[in-house]
């Protein structure tokens, strides 16, 4: 073989190796796509996606809660009264918190930016992991946090129990940051939040901040917010936080007098209300999640991606609560709220392939990025086989080239390590 031909063949094989290893076709049938994750290196989103939010799914692409929820439109249980006028939100859901029946929904698995409704997941994740009597010292970072603040100051001393109330009642980003610090930092808290979401079956939810400040790839859905809020109202500890009418923030000598904060839930006066959480950012627009009880029946409602005109998110939620209580329980639902990830069916694998677990992708990998090789799964096996074969062919080719141009020499094995990871991104901003 002539040297030029051998070199060209080696290069061709190397290119084929790269294409094969990076090709989605290598993913065995039935293998789940990797879980989306945030991309802190990307620019902070400042508006909703012009093409609309991506649609989420469970392991292997299954629609969590049932096939009828695989829609970007509106579905309503058969036999229900007409939906109320004024439902302008891009995504919403109303469900029976007891039976789990989804009575009606619009784009239930749309992965919207959640804004401060994500604090419901922060509460659910940390409330039983932190001692309520632990005192957290305020920092300059708390004072300077972006967006809504309860008013923490450096040098102040705040019990964890008060910080939970401040985070919920006043949507304090400073309180969320302080709680994360008490748990071990923002990174550890976000990891715990994502683990909680997965355990709950909230596969559309990807937390990037403890407060809900916008970051590329962060998301939740009307379905997932309902899952989280149903858990909160069922737990006496978190249910009490949601309905706390006011709390007292201690003063700091020479810095800040003590003051009272009030619950800013706009549906605090709704009959049978069990609490609510608002949210707003430039990218999320207005979001809201709430629950109420009437005659022993509990409903949960979530509203995402709406403006405050003609109706606020909370007012739309109130309409959905009124409507939902008028729907006879005997009608069932168009889908169901799962109790945990164990209730989400995993599609049967084809051709003997084993579905990949729905695990969190490595930190820093952008949402929608191509799946990485998994050494423990079918893709990793194929990659290893093809990689070894291609390397062997390339090595043999290059050896033939060397033999054509010089005397044979003992072969020397070489190894090239993996490329160094790219630089980590910087944290993003906004409430």
Q: How many CA atoms lie within 13 A of 332 on its CB side?
A: 5
Q: Tell me the pairing of strands 135-137 and 246-249.
A: unpaired
Of 57, 148, 171, 428, which is the active-site residue?
171
Task: Tell me, yes or no, if 340 is annotated catalytic.
Answer: no
Q: Which residues pair with 298 in a beta bridge?
A: 293
The angle, 0 to 180 degrees and rounded to 10, between the axes of the packed helices 160-169 and 173-183 is 140
For residue 234, give the nearest of 92, 109, 120 by alpha carbon. 120
The answer to whether residues 331 and 77 touch, using CB atoms and an 8 Å cutoff, is yes
Of 116, 211, 358, 428, which is the active-site residue?
116
Main-chain dihedrals φ then ψ at residue 213, nearest 5 degrees: -55, 140
Class of residue 9 by CB neighbours under 10 A (exposed 0-12, middle 13-18, buried 19+):
middle
For residue 311, give the nearest of 14, 92, 42 by alpha carbon. 92
**277 labelled binding-site residue:** yes
Distance CA 194, CA 121 (A): 9
Of 119, 211, 220, 428, which is the active-site residue?
119
The angle, 0 to 180 degrees and rounded to 10, between the axes of the packed helices 119-126 and 160-169 is 160
Task: Tell me, yes or no, if 171 is annotated catalytic.
Answer: yes
Residues making up the binding site for substrate: 277
Residues making up the binding site: 277
Active-site amino acid positions: 116, 119, 171
């Amino acid at each position: 073989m002539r040297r030029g031909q051998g070199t060209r063949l080696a290069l061709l094989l190397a290119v084929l190796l790269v294409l094969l290893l990076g090709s989605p076709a290598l993913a065995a049938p039935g293998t789940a796509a990797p879980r989306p994750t945030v991309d802190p290196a990307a620019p902070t989103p400042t508006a909703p996606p012009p093409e609309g939010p991506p649609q989420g799914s469970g392991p292997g692409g299954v629609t969590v809660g049932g096939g009828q929820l695989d829609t970007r439109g509106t579905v309503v249980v058969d036999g229900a009264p007409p939906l109320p006028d004024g439902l302008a939100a891009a995504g919403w859901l109303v469900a029976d918190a007891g039976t789990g029946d989804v009575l009606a929904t619009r784009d239930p698995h749309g992965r919207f930016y959640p804004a401060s409704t994500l604090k419901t997941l922060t509460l659910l994740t940390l409330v039983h992991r932190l001692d309520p009597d632990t005192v957290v010292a305020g920092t300059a970072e708390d004072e300077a946090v972006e967006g809504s603040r309860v008013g923490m100051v450096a040098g102040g001393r705040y019990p964890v129990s008060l910080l939970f109330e401040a985070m919920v009642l006043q949507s304090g980003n400073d309180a969320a940051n302080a709680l994360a610090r008490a748990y071990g930092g923002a990174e550890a808290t976000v990891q715990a939040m994502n683990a909680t979401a997965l355990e709950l079956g909230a596969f559309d939810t990807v937390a990037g901040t403890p407060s809900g400040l916008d970051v590329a790839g962060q998301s939740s859905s009307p379905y997932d917010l309902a899952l989280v809020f149903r858990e909160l109202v069922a737990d006496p500890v978190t249910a009490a936080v949601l309905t706390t009418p006011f709390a007292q923030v201690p003063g700091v000598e020479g810095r800040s007098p003590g003051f009272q904060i009030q619950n800013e839930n706009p549906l605090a006066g709704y009959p049978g209300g069990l609490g609510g959480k608002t949210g707003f950012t430039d990218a999320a627009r207005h979001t809201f999640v709430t629950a109420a009880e009437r005659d022993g029946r509990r409903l949960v409602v979530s509203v995402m991606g709406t403006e405050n005109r003609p109706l606020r998110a909370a007012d739309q939620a109130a309409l959905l609560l009124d409507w939902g209580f008028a729907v006879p329980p005997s009608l069932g639902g168009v889908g169901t709220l799962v109790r945990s990830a164990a209730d989400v069916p995993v599609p049967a694998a084809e051709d003997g392939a084993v579905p990949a677990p729905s695990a969190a992708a490595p930190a820093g990998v952008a949402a929608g990025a191509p799946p990485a090789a998994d050494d423990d799964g079918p893709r990793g096996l194929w990659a290893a086989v093809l990689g070894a074969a291609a390397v062997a062919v390339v090595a043999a080719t290059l050896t033939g080239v060397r033999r054509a141009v010089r005397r044979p020499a003992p072969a020397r094995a070489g190894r090239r390590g993996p490329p160094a990871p790219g630089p980590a991104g910087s944290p993003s901003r906004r409430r």
